[in-house]
Amino acid sequence: MAQPILQVQGLHKSFGKLEVLAGINLEVQQGEVVVVIGPSGSGKSTLLRCINFLEVPTQGRILFKGEEVGQKDVGGKLVSLPERVLDQQRTRMGMVFQRFNLFPHMTALENVMEAPVQVRGLARGEAEALGMKLLTRVGLAEKARTYPPFLSGGQQQRVAIARALAMEPDVMLFDEPTSALDPELVGEVLQVMKDLAKSGMTMIVVTHEMGFAREVGHRVLFMDGGVVVEEGKPEQIFTAPQHPRTREFLSKVL
């Protein structure tokens, strides 16, 4: 196998005395879609947030294309990398949030153009063409000039996906992208994500959408209590879960 695009090694994260991640090891291959499921409070979101360093791991390493993210192990001590390096690393990992987090003072198009112009230094014209291409891809070209408060939740999330894609990331992180949506709006967002998976994007998706996990995931991780309890191919996890906690969880959600 080729070198994994992303490696998580011995990842621990504590908030004060509360240990949220208790030793996570994970390797993600280029083009792989990894779906993380588990009860709330199991550490799924924290895992995702540690990968792009929105949370600073207490212990362990994140390697992105073999390069350490955020901090470096210098003689057994973790030393923060310069902010500039971290900013650069983050441009290669797109993140989609549960609550969309679109910039409300910018139109849909401006949201998508913002980072390409400000961070990648693209000319406005180029960025606008890129933005329109991406909005078209998520089916929202006609909403380009609309401000986020006037978009539905599903539309906002699709713009957020376009915004993350605008940095042309190598991996996309989805943190419960449909959990804040009305049920009838979930489908349109999942459809965009499916298309993205089909196009070969490497994705890590934290979700409660078991149908999506089953249909799109190449591998499913079941997390509980800050550890990966079980992982495997979707059909194996959903039809023949090995661990009692996986069985218990699935019996509740399916």
Partner 1 sequence: MESFLGYSIKILPFLLKGMQQTLILTAASATFGTLLGLLLALARIAPARFVRTVAGGYVTIFRGTPLMLQILFIWGALPEIGIVLPDTACVIIALSMNAGAYIAEIIRAAIQSIDRGQMEAARSLGMSYGLAMRRVILPQTFRRLLPPMVNELAALTKDTSLAMVVGIVELLKASQQQQSQSFRPAETYVWTALGYLLVTITLMSLANRFEKKLEARG
- The site for partner 1 (CB under 8 A) is made up of 52, 54, 83-84, 87-88, 90-91, 93-95, 97, 99, 101-105, 114-115, 118-119, 147, 149-150, 160, 163-164, 167
Residue number, 164 or 237, with CB nearest to partner 1: 164
Closest approach of Cβ 88 to partner 1, in Å? 7
Could you give the angle at the alpha carbon of 115 between the alpha carbons of 172 and 113, nearest 5°? 100
Q: What is the DSSP code string of 36-79? A: EE--TTSSHHHHHHHHTTSS--SEEEEEETTEE-SEEEETTEEE
Is the Cβ of residue 168 or residue 215 nearer to partner 1 in the bound state? 168
Minimum CB separation from partner 1 for residue 126, in Å? 17
**16: DSSP letter:** T
Question: Which CB, 207 or 246, lies closer to partner 1?
Answer: 207
- Considering the complex, state which of residue 81 and residue 167 has its C-beta at the smaller distance from partner 1: 167
Q: How far is the CB of 195 from partner 1 (least distance, A)?
A: 21
Largest CA distance in the chain: 55
In the numeric block, the tokens 């459809």 are attached to: 191
Residue nearer to partner 1 on the CB measure, 159 or 213 = 159
- The C-alpha atoms of residue 116 and residue 223 are separated, in whole angstroms, by 35
Query: What's the closest the beta carbon of residue 87 comes to partner 1, in angstroms?
Result: 5
Torsion-angle region of residue 100: left (phi > 0), alpha (psi -120 to 50) or beta? left
Are 219 and 231 in contact, with CB atoms under 8 Å apart?
yes
Cβ at position 66, least distance to partner 1 in Å: 19
